[in-house]
Amino acid sequence: MSKYAFFILAFLSVFSALMVVFSRKPVHSVLYTIFCFFTIAGHYILLNAQFLAAVHVIVYSGAIMVLFLYVIMMLNLNAEGEPHKSGIIKTAAVISGGLFLLVMVSVLKSADGLEVAASGDNQIGMVKSLGMVLYREYMLPFEVSALLFLTAMIGATMIGKKELNS
Amino acid sequence: MNNSILDIVHINNYLYLSLILFAIGVLGVLFRRNTIIIFMCIELMLNAVNLLLVAFSTMHSDPGGQVMVFFIMAVAAAEVAVGLAILVMIFRNFGGVDINLLNRLKW
The pLDDT tens digits of the residues spanning B41-76 come to 999 999 999 999 999 888 888 888 999 999 999 999
Which one-letter amino acid corresponds to residue B91? F
> How close A165 gets to chain B, by Cα (Å)?
15
The pLDDT tens digits of the residues spanning A49-84 come to 899 999 999 999 889 999 999 998 888 776 665 666
Nearest neighbour of A130 by CB, restricted to B1, B58, B63:
B63
The pLDDT tens digits of the residues spanning B82-105 come to 999 999 998 888 888 888 888 888
Question: At A160, is the pLDDT very low, low, confident or very high (cuts 50, 70, 90)?
Answer: confident
- Under 8 Å between Cβ of B17 and A9: no
* Spatial separation of the C-alpha atoms in residues A20 and A30, rounded to whole Å: 7
Q: Taking CA A158 as the corner, what is the angle to CA A70 and CA B39, rounded to the nearest 5 degrees? A: 45
* Spatial separation of the C-alpha atoms in residues B69 and B79, rounded to whole Å: 15
Question: At A166, is the pLDDT very low, low, confident or very high (cuts 50, 70, 90)?
Answer: low
What pLDDT was estimated at residue A162? Answer: 76
Mutation for B interface: A159, A161, A162, A166, most B CBs within 10 A: A159
Cβ of A83 and B84 within 8 Å?
Answer: no
Cβ of A71 and B71 within 8 Å?
Answer: no
The pLDDT tens digits of the residues spanning B24-33 come to 999 999 988 8
> Which residue, among B4, B68, B103, B53, has the nearest Cα to A48 in the 3D structure?
B4
What pLDDT was estimated at residue A95? Answer: 94
This model of the complex carries an ipTM of 0.91
- Of chain A, the percentage scoring pLDDT greater than 70 comes to 87
* Spatial separation of the C-alpha atoms in residues A54 and B58, rounded to whole Å: 17
Q: Indicate the average pLDDT of chain B.
A: 88
What pLDDT was estimated at residue A1? Answer: 78
> How close B105 gets to chain A, by Cα (Å)?
19
What pLDDT was estimated at residue A120? Answer: 63
H-run or E-run covering B76: helix B63-94
Residue A36 has pLDDT above 90, yes or no: yes
Q: Indicate the average pLDDT of chain A.
A: 87
* Spatial separation of the C-alpha atoms in residues A30 and B102, rounded to whole Å: 23
Question: At A164, is the pLDDT very low, low, confident or very high (cuts 50, 70, 90)?
Answer: low
Mutation for B interface: A31, A33, A64, A107, most B CBs within 10 A: A64
Q: Taking CA A51 as the corner, what is the angle to CA A5 and CA B83, rounded to the nearest 5 degrees? A: 95
Residue A91 has pLDDT above 80, yes or no: yes
Cross-strand bridge partners of residue B98: B34
